[in-house]
């Protein structure tokens, strides 16, 4: 009997504990209230608690609860600071600085009607004012509300002279109009008159700032805001046309291990007015430039959304790694094209497309997955960048390697951009010269953490992880070719090893057209124009190889990756009176051309 009583008492204690013992909830999100209950999102899941308390929708609260009710509510005040840099484990907030993330973080999209749904960290775009974040008691960031995004501003990483790096040892500025120099975290707010000269230098993890011969060291990000800010420590253009680029908007300066980062926070349309003339010749007229403006605007917004450079604090850089920006002064016709297409982009199923473009085709366009794929062969889905035939007339494409060789040898074939010098080209190598070059390039590729995955080495018919000193080159074969002619994987067959290389950028990087690599005079012969020396990488991966009389000759066509819009193709179509929307619909399949940024 005594044992039964003890068991009953124990059971009662357990029941009472379940009923009344309080549990804690951190950062519940109120979604609705109904009389004596409240509905919340807790760690991404919908929960209902009994309480008479009432809070506005989307209030974030800490509280306790048991089976009877919820109580001890504490409202969490949101932080509206911009996230400037996203790192693993922490974010750099504009005002508060580096702040750790909670071990579990939760991201939510809030639409214009205040409806909320769970999302992911990739939805948080750096540098935007569309964010509310919430800290835990330990000061860690746990919950994020992401509101509708404003696409109207870009963040551009500014490179050094020659686009060689985004790390600057020092930056010299001249203000061509009155500007403002300030810091968000430190005491600095100075009006700069016209023709002020400012020098910023890396000083350990700090920035040494010199203004009017007065030097001060700052620990945090510095800003210069103005309409015409000249960076005199950078040169753009080439030859006798070099100039110091001028920027509008805000220039931000912050230090990383390797130097000072310069970010231009600039209106999207102003950004495009310095991209379009840098990316496309004016010779095609305004319709071609409209194509470039829409493609460049779409590309910029797509990169913004994809957070490609979120760990560096910008959306795009100013080189060919993204889009060339401010390498040529603004041009009236390009500005007209940008203004005429203001806010217009291409979308596919409601999302801005990845608007790839390139210089010149070889007569065809190819699938996105033929150019960009992972080492295991998988690729992102970009159905709007698909195989295309630009030949005039549209003849059937080759089906075997011999036919592809003849196709690339044929300089009389016609296509929409066949009047341009790179439409057909060839490079001739001696066996010794190409062997020498490949020893250098393949060694470099195999030493790269990512590029190494796109190389496969065989010795004695067995795969190996060691790249030997490569002896005489015996043959080059295309192992895999896309339906529309791009080499996807090639095989370099040496007397002592075979090296397979796959992927457009790695194939082109493996074959250099320069004496620096071949140790002999090497020229790229285009079917129009003078031969070129010291070109660097192959113009494209649209080529075939002919071995004859101890020499290797690569016959190819096009300049660039061949996916998306041919810029010279757009120029020629524009000259024929075709409107920009029709030109874009030729190069990008099933896209919608729409205005996403309202005036």
pLDDT band at 13 (very low <50, low <70, confident <90, very high): low
Name the pairing type of β-strands 45-50 and 37-42: antiparallel
Percentage of the chain surpassing pLDDT 70?
A: 96
pLDDT of 4 reads: 66
Contact 319, 159 (CB under 8 A): yes
pLDDT in tens, 244-288: 999 999 999 999 888 999 999 999 999 999 999 999 999 889 999
Residue 20 has pLDDT above 60, yes or no: no
- At residue 15, does pLDDT exceed 60? no
Per-residue pLDDT tens over the stretch 554-580? 999 999 999 999 999 999 999 999 999
* Three-state SS sequence of 250-308: EEEEEEECCEEEEEEEEEHHHHHHHHHHHHCCHHHCHHHHHHHHHHHHHHHHHHHHHCC
Of 2, 61, 70, 63, nearest to 30 by C-alpha is: 61
Q: Which of 476, 477, 486, 480 is nearest to 437 (CA)?
A: 476
Which of 13, 40, 75 finishes a domain? 75
**Per-residue pLDDT tens over the stretch 476-523:** 999 999 999 999 999 999 999 999 999 999 999 999 999 999 999 999
- Check whether residue 64 and residue 94 sit in a common domain: no
Nearest partner of 540 among 412, 426, 375, judged by Cα? 426
Same structural domain, 26 and 131: no
Task: Determine, yes or no, domain membership for 289.
Answer: no
pLDDT at 550 over 60: yes
Distance CA 292, CA 344 (A): 12
Q: What percent of the chain has pLDDT over 90?
A: 88
Buried b (16+ CB within 10 A) or exposed e, 515-551: eebbeeebbbbbbeeeebeebebbbbbbbbbeeeeee
pLDDT at position 21 = 67
pLDDT of residue 68: 84
34, 134: one domain = no
| Residue 235: pLDDT over 70 | yes
Residue 296 has pLDDT above 60, yes or no: yes
Instruction: Note the pLDDT of residue 499.
Output: 98
Asked whether residue 107 falls in the same domain as residue 65, the answer is no
Counting Cα atoms < 13 Å in the Cβ hemisphere of 517 gives 26
Whether 256 maps to a domain, the answer reads no
Whether residue 26 sits in one domain with residue 142? no
In a domain, 160, yes or no: no
Closest CA to 385 of 420, 348, 413: 348
Domain final residue, candidates 146, 161, 184: 146
Distance CA 295, CA 354 (A): 9
Q: Do 62 and 33 belong to one domain? A: yes
Report in angstroms the alpha-carbon separations of 509 from 164, 393, 541: 17, 33, 10
pLDDT at 12: 56
CB 565 within 8 A of CB 538: no
Tokens of 312: 């560096």
- Give the chain's domain count: 3
Residue 165, classed as helix, strand or coil, is: coil
Tokens of 83: 């996230």
Q: Is the peptide bond before 492 cis (omega within 30 degrees of 0)?
A: no
Residues 378, 465 within the same domain: yes
CA–CA gap between residue 136 and residue 83 (Å, rounded): 17
Question: Band of the pLDDT at 534, cuts 50, 70, 90?
Answer: confident
Residue 196 belongs to a domain:
no
Q: Is the pLDDT of residue 75 over 60?
A: yes
8 A C-beta contact, residue 428 and residue 553: yes
Instruction: Select from 118, 146, 174 the last residue of a domain.
Output: 146
Which burial class, exposed, middle or buried, applies to 309 when counting CB atoms under 10 A from its CB (0-12, 13-18, 19+)?
Answer: buried
The confidence score (pLDDT) of residue 256 equals 86
For 376-390, the pLDDT digits (tens) are 999 999 999 999 999
Mark whether 479 and 518 lie in a shared domain: yes
Q: Which of 194, 193, 199, 231 is nearest to 214 (CA)?
A: 199
Write the DSSP string, 7-41. HHHHHHHHHHHHHH--EEEEEEEEEEEETTEEEEE
Tokens coding 494: 């040496």
* Angle between the N-to-C axes of helices 286-306 and 268-279, in degrees from 0 to 180, rounded to the nearest 10: 120
pTM score > 0.85 for this model? yes
The dihedral formed by the CA atoms of 320, 521, 540 and 559, expressed in degrees to the nearest 10: 60
Same domain (yes/no): 473, 530: yes
Whether 429 has a pLDDT exceeding 70, the answer reads yes
Does 206 map to a domain? no
pLDDT range class, residue 14, cuts 50, 70, 90 = low
| Cα 226 from Cα 224, distance rounded (Å) | 7
Residue 91 lies in a domain: yes
Same domain, 379 and 473: yes
Instruction: Specify burial of residue 256 (Cβ count, 10 A radius: 0-12, 13-18, 19+).
Output: middle
Q: Is the pLDDT of residue 1 over 70?
A: no
Is 428 within a domain? Answer: yes
Assess if residue 262 is contained within a domain: no
pLDDT in tens, 324-353: 999 988 999 999 999 999 999 999 999 999
Residues 483 and 557 in one domain: yes
- Per the structure, the complete domain to which residue 66 belongs is given by 21-75
Find the mean pLDDT for residues 518-535.
92
Tell which wins on pLDDT, 144 or 529: 144
Structure tokens at 351: 């999302």
Task: Tell me which DSSP letter residue 84 carries.
Answer: E
Average pLDDT over residues 293-316: 95
Mean pLDDT (whole number) for 357-367: 97
Question: Are 122 and 139 found together in one domain?
Answer: yes
């Amino acid at each position: 009997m005594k044992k039964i009583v003890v068991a009953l008492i124990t059971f009662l204690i357990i029941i009472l504990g379940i009923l009344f013992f309080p549990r804690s909830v951190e950062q519940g999100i109120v979604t609705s209230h109904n009389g004596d209950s409240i509905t919340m999102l807790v760690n991404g899941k919908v929960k209902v608690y009994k309480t008479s308390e009432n809070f506005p929708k989307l209030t974030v609260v800490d509280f306790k609860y048991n089976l009877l009710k919820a109580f001890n509510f504490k409202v969490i005040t949101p932080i509206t600071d911009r996230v400037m840099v996203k790192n693993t484990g922490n974010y750099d907030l504009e005002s508060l600085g580096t702040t750790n993330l909670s071990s579990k973080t939760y991201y939510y999209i809030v639409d214009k009607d205040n409806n909320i749904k769970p999302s992911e960290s990739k939805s948080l775009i750096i540098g935007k004012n569309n964010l509310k974040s919430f800290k835990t008691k330990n000061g860690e960031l746990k919950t994020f509300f992401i509101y509708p995004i404003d696409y109207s501003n870009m963040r551009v990483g500014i490179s050094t002279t020659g686009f060689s790096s985004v790390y600057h040892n020092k930056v010299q500025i001249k203000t061509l109009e009155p500007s403002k120099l300030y810091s968000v975290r430190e005491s600095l707010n100075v009006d700069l008159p016209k023709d002020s000269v400012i020098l910023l230098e890396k000083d350990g993890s700090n920035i040494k700032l010199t203004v009017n011969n007065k030097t001060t060291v700052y620990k945090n990000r510095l800003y210069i805001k103005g309409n015409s800010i000249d960076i005199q420590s950078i040169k753009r253009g080439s030859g006798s046309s070099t100039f110091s680029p001028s920027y509008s908007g805000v220039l931000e300066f912050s230090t990383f291990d390797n130097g000072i980062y310069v970010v231009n926070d600039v209106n999207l349309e102003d950004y495009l007015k310095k991209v379009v003339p840098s990316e496309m010749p004016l010779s095609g007229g305004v319709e071609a430039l409209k194509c470039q403006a829409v493609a460049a605007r779409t590309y910029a917004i797509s990169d913004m959304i994809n957070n490609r450079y979120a760990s560096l604090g910008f959306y795009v850089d100013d080189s060919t790694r993204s889009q060339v920006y401010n390498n040529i002064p603004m041009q009236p016709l390009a500005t007209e094209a940008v203004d005429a297409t203001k806010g217009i982009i291409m979308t596919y199923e409601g999302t801005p497309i990845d608007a790839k473009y390139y210089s010149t085709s070889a007569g065809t366009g190819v699938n996105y997955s033929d150019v960009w794929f992972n080492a295991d062969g998988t690729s992102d889905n970009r159905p709007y960048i698909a195989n295309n035939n630009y030949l005039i007339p549209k003849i059937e494409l080759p089906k075997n390697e011999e036919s592809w060789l003849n196709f690339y040898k044929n300089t009389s074939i016609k296509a929409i951009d066949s009047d341009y010098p790179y439409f057909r080209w060839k490079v001739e190598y001696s066996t010794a010269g190409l062997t020498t070059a490949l020893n250098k390039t393949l060694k470099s590729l195999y030493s790269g953490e990512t590029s190494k995955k796109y190389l496969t080495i065989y010795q004695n018919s067995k795969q190996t992880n060691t790249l030997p000193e490569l002896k005489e080159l015996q043959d080059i074969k295309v192992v895999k070719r896309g339906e529309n002619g791009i080499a996807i994987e090639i095989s370099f067959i040496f007397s002592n090893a075979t090296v397979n290389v796959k992927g457009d950028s790695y194939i082109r990087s493996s074959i250099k057209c320069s004496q620096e690599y071949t140790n002999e005079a090497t020229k790229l012969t285009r079917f129009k124009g003078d031969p070129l020396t010291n070109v660097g990488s192959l113009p494209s991966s649209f080529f075939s190889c002919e071995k004859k009389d101890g020499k290797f000759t690569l016959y190819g066509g096009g300049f660039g990756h061949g996916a998306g819009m041919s810029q010279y193709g757009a120029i020629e179509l524009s000259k024929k009176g075709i409107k920009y929307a029709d030109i874009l619909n030729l190069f990008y399949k099933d896209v919608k051309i729409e205005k996403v940024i309202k005036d």
